[in-house]
Amino acid sequence: MVVQFVSFIGAHHDPADLDPWVAASIGALVTIWVTFVPSPSSSSSAHRTSNASAATATSPKRSPASPRCHDK
């Protein structure tokens, strides 16, 4: 929310040809959109992560009593 406020103030101080309040509102809305709307690449990486965890979940587990290294 701090980033939204900063973009609101920044757009208000430099509105170009727009009314300062309109520019500030557009700046805040664009910031919210970019912050909270997921990108297509992030959803595919989440899919890859879930596939990797599913593969790990189906792999056989080592019992706690089995040795982890060979003692000499």
Whether 60 is in a domain gets the answer no
Listed as ranges, residues in the chain with pLDDT below 70 are: 42-72
Whether 6 is in a domain gets the answer yes
Q: Could you tell me the residue range of the domain that residue 6 belongs to? A: 1-36
Q: What pLDDT is stored for residue 54 in this prediction?
A: 54
Whether 5 is in a domain gets the answer yes
Q: What pLDDT is stored for residue 1 in this prediction?
A: 79
pTM of the model: 0.50
Can you say whether the dihedral through the CA atoms of 25, 30, 35, 38 is positive or negative?
A: positive
Q: How many domains does the chain have?
A: 1
Whether 31 is in a domain gets the answer yes
Whether 16 is in a domain gets the answer yes
Whether 62 is in a domain gets the answer no
